[in-house]
């Protein structure tokens, strides 16, 4: 899939700057620009497995969350929604690299590129690593941290996930909204 990565980057930055007024945002965005956030895939095979997939996925999650807010009796702030959804997968920054493999195309073997995981910074689980990375640049509220940390739902490999994630969803509705928006973007839009 071919994306206009520069246009997508500008859309992401526009949403961030219009919605987030938190100290440290510009430093976080500068780090993301120096890293591969805007060109990285969202995954190797499940969704968004192409250049720019991670940024596109983050925007998709934000847009789905905005649509789901009507389900909440008391909606979180626009800033909290933007932070939780746009930065939920920062753990994937600098996670992938391109490798080559042989693939039969039209009856002929050809060398084709594909993404592989090349983790250089191991830090707990998927959500906790994203929380850690965001907090290197800006403070998160407890609800924002819970939303980012629990966005994978019960599939993050935490043996206490049913208790911990379920309690987080009950206490912090933004966590549930972020999870549902992430699932919707992954399974309904990007597959």
Question: Looking at residue 189, what is its pLDDT?
Answer: 76
Per-residue pLDDT at 57 exceeds 90: yes
Check residue 48 and give its pLDDT: 81
Question: Which among 61, 80, 18 is positioned nearest to 178, based on CA atoms?
Answer: 61
Using the CB atoms, write b or e for 153-173: b if 16+ within 10 Å.
Answer: beebebeebeebbeebbeebb
Distance CA 87, CA 110 (A): 37
Only one residue has tokens 């700057």, namely: 17
pLDDT at 164 over 80: no
Distance (Å, rounded) from C-alpha 170 to C-alpha 108? 54
Q: What is the pLDDT of residue 154?
A: 58
As a whole number, mean pLDDT of residues 11-24 equals 98
% pLDDT > 90, the chain: 58
With CA atoms as reference, report the closest residue to 173 among 76, 63, 62.
Answer: 76
Measure the CA–CA gap between 152 and 145, rounded to whole angstroms. 13
Q: Are 137 and 31 in contact (CB under 8 A)?
A: yes
Taking residues 97-113, what's their average pLDDT?
87
């Amino acid at each position: 899939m071919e994306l206009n990565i520069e246009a997508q980057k500008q859309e992401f930055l526009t949403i961030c700057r219009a919605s987030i007024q938190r100290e440290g945002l510009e430093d976080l965005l500068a780090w993301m620009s120096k890293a591969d956030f805007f060109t990285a895939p969202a995954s190797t095979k499940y969704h968004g497995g192409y250049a720019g997939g991670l940024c596109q996925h983050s925007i998709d999650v934000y847009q789905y969350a905005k649509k789901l807010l009507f389900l909440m009796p008391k909606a979180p702030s626009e800033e909290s929604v933007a932070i939780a959804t746009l930065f939920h997968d920062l753990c994937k920054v600098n996670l992938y690299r391109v490798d080559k493999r042989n693939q039969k195309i039209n009856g002929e073997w050809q060398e084709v590129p594909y993404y592989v995981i090349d983790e250089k910074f191991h830090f707990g689980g998927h959500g906790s690593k994203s929380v850690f990375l965001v907090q290197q640049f800006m403070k998160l509220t407890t609800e924002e941290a819970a939303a980012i940390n629990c966005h994978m739902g019960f599939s993050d490999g935490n043996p206490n996930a049913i208790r911990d994630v379920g309690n987080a969803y009950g206490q912090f509705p933004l966590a549930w909204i972020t999870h549902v928006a992430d699932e919707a973007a992954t399974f309904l839009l990007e597959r």
